[in-house]
Amino acid sequence: MAETSQQELTEDQQKEAEQRSSVTVHVVHEAVRREGEEELKRSSSALAWSGLAAGLSMGFSAIAEGLIRSRLPDAPWRPLLTTMGYSAGFLLVVLGRQQLFTENTLTPMLPLFSNRDGATLRNVARLWVVVLAANMVGALVIAWVLAATGALPPEVKRALSDIARESSGLGFGVVLLRGVFAGWLIAMLVWMLPFAEGARFFVVLGMTWLIGLGGFSHVVAGAVEALYLAVSGAGTWEGAILGYIVPALIGNILGGVTLVAVINHAQVVS
């Protein structure tokens, strides 16, 4: 019956049916793998500048959250709107094609899983170190600007401090676990983007809004908030680095590499 139906279709109709079929996981894997190959070919200086831009851009997640929160009453529904602002920095980074560390828990890992050689491993390590360092420098710079200058009105600064305190002091284990979920969602976001086409804006908005609403720990977005507290004197440098950045980093790597990169690669090669 299926063969008869297929024979009744014209060649143009069969081509249209193929175009409307869902993209296979093998095609998605290959698209992400090729993008990873291109990223690994980039120079360290290009990665550093792009990573710095991403770190600075992520400051707009904190800014947008602070602006929205300062203008809303203290009500149970407030986080639903406030965390919409959390997506601002991610939209700038992803749509602007800037280098964010958590995206690289998936993209360059697929070439590594495919090649499994020392040269690719060294290249992945180089990319990770350069991008993470640049992201942190950018996060520190924007945190200092927000805390030490009059760039934001006092009421927005107070709102930003309140937001930052809510994500701080959770304990190493809690931040790490929440970091796993954030890394998982960001890696899945990267996995979906190649074929999101005109829906890219909404895919980024939806996934990152979920991270913000869930209070999941993203190492770069959260670093801006943690470093803001440290620079403003409302928190400590030890709390920012050891209490948030380190556990969030570990969690993001575990979530991105283990739950997405490894599993999605395994389903293709199995």
255 in Cβ contact with 237 (< 8 Å): no
CB 209 within 8 A of CB 84: yes
Nearest to 49 by CA among 91, 106, 98: 98
Domain layout of the chain by residue ranges? 26-269
Please tell me the pTM assigned to this model: 0.89
Question: What angle, rounded to 10 degrees, do the helices at 246-253 and 172-192 form?
Answer: 40
Q: What is the pLDDT along the chain (270 residues), one digit of tens a residue?
A: 444 445 577 776 666 556 555 677 888 888 888 988 999 999 999 999 999 999 999 999 999 999 999 999 999 999 999 999 999 999 999 999 999 999 998 889 899 988 889 999 999 999 999 999 999 999 999 999 999 999 999 999 999 999 999 888 789 999 999 999 999 999 999 988 888 878 999 999 999 999 999 999 999 999 999 999 999 999 999 999 999 999 999 999 999 988 777 887 788 777
Question: 26-269 sits in which CATH class?
Answer: mainly alpha
User: Tokens at residue 256, please?
Assistant: 């991105």
Closest CA to 220 of 115, 161, 141: 141
